[in-house]
Amino acid sequence: MVNDLDSQRTARTAYLTKAISRGWVQTIEDMEKLVYGLPATLQKADAPVLTNTDGVRNILYGRELWRQVVTAANAFGALGFKPWEKSGYRAVTAPASTDSPGITESGALPDTIKPSFKQVPVAPTLSAATFNQSDMETLLAGKDDVVEWGDLVDYMGDEFKNRLNRAAVATADTVPTTGINSLDRIVGSYAELAYGKVDDSGVLDAGDLDIYGLDRDAGASWADAYVNGQAFGSGSRDLALTHIDALFTNTRPYWKDAGVSNKAIITGYDTLERIEQLLQAQQRFIGQTKVQMTVNGIQTVSGVEAGFDVATYKGVPIIPDNTVLQDTISRIMLLDLDNIHVGVLSPIQYLESNDPFANDFIGTEGLHYMMGEIVCTKFKSQAKGRDFQ
């Protein structure tokens, strides 16, 4: 190290002497520029402060919660919400007669007749979720890098809606003792008992498809929705457009009119992709217009009427939901929203308390809750396709 410094000093002196003798140095500024501007390769041991030096850097993670989980509630939201009207309804389950009402010109009036009636009880259910945070954590906001209470409230609210959504698309054999019923049970049929593939035994058990106190085990009835499925043990079949068309064919007679207004198709993203593949051969590029449908505030993907990205099928919006029940790929539900909705006795509400004596906790406790139930007033206008691949 000493030898290197000596050689550098010798080089600087020789260069400076040469510069003075040749008239390069006229002022003190020239000399300073010449001396301080000379290249130097001083070798020394450095100890820089780096980002990984102990005690010099702390990461600030920020208040925002970047969600790595799904909190969407597409299927539940697409059903639409109506105020709770009554805890049940009266159904006409069979016509008084299906014979021609014709009589002869002088004939006697026919005997009186009456249709069959059935009382259908629909009870509201209660769903709730609580969470809390200590006062110490809350008061450190703005002083330390902490999760703030308001952001936690927002996330837990979305998670609560997602949990309602998961209950709405749960399997038919998940018979709830509390909480809302599932669409898979509501849009069920006696014939579906032979399709199986929902629980450990491989078949639906007695009572799994019963809904609103109605027994669907005894045989086909007015309380059956239309279900297009595969016989137990036959595995899944390739999805075809004819399977989806069958859902329309078997429910249209029960709709308020033959149109497709206020109808929705709910399925998974995987089955949506299969529908797009089936429609790809029919893609037309003349006059193509991108559309996006909205059903009760829930939007379809943006796409064309038919083709690679589809927003509708036969004019009915397709609502994708990643939690729809799967066989090999997700099931398809064609819903008549004139006759199925979420009946709301009490809408989703948020309450909080920071009473330490009531909570037995020094902090704030939050509560999201809802009272209601999915109400179906006409089963035969609903349809489900299952056992697809």
Closest-CA residue to 317 (of 77, 13, 19, 28)? 77
Residue 352 vs residues 79, 131, 157, 303, 369: alpha-carbon distances, Å = 28, 9, 12, 42, 11
pLDDT at site 217:
85
Look up the pTM and report it. Answer: 0.78
Extract the tokens encoding 20.
């003075």
| Domain residue ranges in the chain | 2-37, 74-95+115-385
Extract the tokens encoding 8.
């550098």
Which amino acid is present at 179?
Answer: G
pLDDT at site 8:
67
CA of residue 348 relative to chain centroid, distance: 17
User: In tens digits, what is the pLDDT along the chain, a chain of 389 residues?
Assistant: 556 666 766 777 777 777 777 776 777 776 666 666 655 555 566 788 877 878 877 777 777 777 777 778 889 999 999 999 999 999 999 999 999 999 999 999 999 999 999 999 999 999 999 999 999 988 888 888 888 888 889 999 999 999 999 999 988 877 777 889 999 999 999 988 877 666 445 567 778 889 999 998 888 999 999 999 887 767 889 999 999 999 999 999 999 987 889 999 999 999 999 998 888 766 654 455 566 777 777 777 776 554 456 688 999 999 999 999 888 999 999 999 999 999 999 999 999 999 989 889 999 999 999 999 999 999 999 999 999 99
Q: What are the b/e assignments for 185-211, b being 16+ CB within 10 Å? A: bbbbbbbbbebbbbeeeebbeeebbbb
Residue 301 vs residues 291, 295, 313: alpha-carbon distances, Å = 9, 12, 13
Residue 35 vs residues 21, 38, 41, 131, 295: alpha-carbon distances, Å = 15, 6, 14, 71, 79
